[in-house]
A = this chain, B = another copy of it.
């Protein structure tokens, strides 16, 4: 169960360590990094046309993983506030969520980065 991810400037409290750890864990899988890299570098995918953006089936193609596995990864990325999912019609469109990355940028200096 994901911790509640607050976006405060954050002392290094226990709760903040867990929130940051959760974001890092979401980033600790190559498939999820590949998904993020694709989202970060494409506004549209081949599946659902140039209108919508990037949908789940695009990400199946990008990763070579099964549909349930992609769905699982997206849930993980969304829970870490790294991705925003928006349902339009039958499709889920995904895009980068800056909130998780903002948390990372705020947290990294506290651990040496």
- A residues bordering B, Cβ < 8 Å? 12, 14, 17-18, 20-22, 24-25, 27-30, 33-34, 36-37, 39-41, 82, 96, 98, 101, 104-105, 108, 110-113
Contacts and interface: CB of A to CB of B under 8 A. Distances in A.
Contacts of A40: 110-112
A77 to B, nearest CB: 10
Contact of A112 (B21, B82, B111): B82
Nearest to A20: B33
9 contacts: A17-B37, A20-B27, A21-B27, A21-B28, A21-B30, A24-B25, A24-B28, A28-B28, A39-B112
Contacts of A96: 112
Nearest to A36: B111
A111 B33 contact: yes
A20 B43 CA distance: 23
Contacts of A33: 17, 20-21, 24, 111
A101 B112 contact: yes
Nearest to A39: B112
